[in-house]
Amino acid sequence: MLLNHYDLLGRNGVSRELAVTLFTPLALAQLGVVLLAGLLVDRFQPHRVLALPMCAMATACLLARAGGLGPWPFIYAGTLGIALGSFQAANVAAWAHYFGRAHLGEIRGLTFVITIVGAALGPLPFGWAAERGGYGPVLLAGAVGCVAVALVNIVTPVAPRTPTVENLPVPPAL
């Protein structure tokens, strides 16, 4: 959505000047929610916390079409900031929590490559939609996909952690 920020908002009546201004509430929301998401990850399973950015992103997808009048562009920017910031905190915690630290570098290296491929392919549907008159179908599909992922994260049972060297209790010193 950020790659198509100006066109996406411009098609819904948001001026370029306002679209530039929206990066401030987006960044402030992102900054604030990183701290909140960090607290949530300390209290809940990380995959449960991942429902927050998914729901926020679904909301941002729907709000992107709300138009340039009134508070809607600011609400959209804040919601997108919440999605991005909460995903950053929950995502980092999830890898270490579920896979441990022993091979975290290898696991993150592989998943980073997959993430980059996804990021490279992500703009294609937006380009396709822009050429056909609007982002509506892509934004709706994105919102539905995000809600589906949020629901999966909420209903997935928590698997017990298997003991590893790094999470075994430390014996008392003699």
Condensed to tens digits (0 to 9), the pLDDT of residues 129-141 reads 989 988 999 999 9
pLDDT at 148: 97
Look at residue 171 and tell me whether its pLDDT is greater than 80: no
Q: Which helix (H) or strand (E) holds 105?
A: helix 104-121
For the segment 58-113, what is each residue's pLDDT rounded down to a tens digit?
Answer: 999 999 988 777 899 999 999 999 999 999 888 888 888 888 888 888 888 888 89
| Cα 19 from Cα 16, distance rounded (Å) | 5
What residue ranges define each of the domains in the chain, with the CATH number in brackets? 5-155 (1.20.1250)
Digit-coded pLDDT (tens) for 12-40: 889 999 999 999 999 999 999 998 888 89
* Helical ranges in the chain per DSSP H: 5-10, 16-21, 23-43, 46-49, 51-63, 72-99, 104-121, 123-131, 136-155
Q: Taking Cα atoms as reference points, which of 79, 73, 87, 70 lies closest to residue 29?
A: 79
pLDDT in tens, 141-166: 999 999 999 999 999 887 655 555 55
- Letter for the amino acid at 19? A
Please report, as a single letter, which amino acid is at residue 94: A
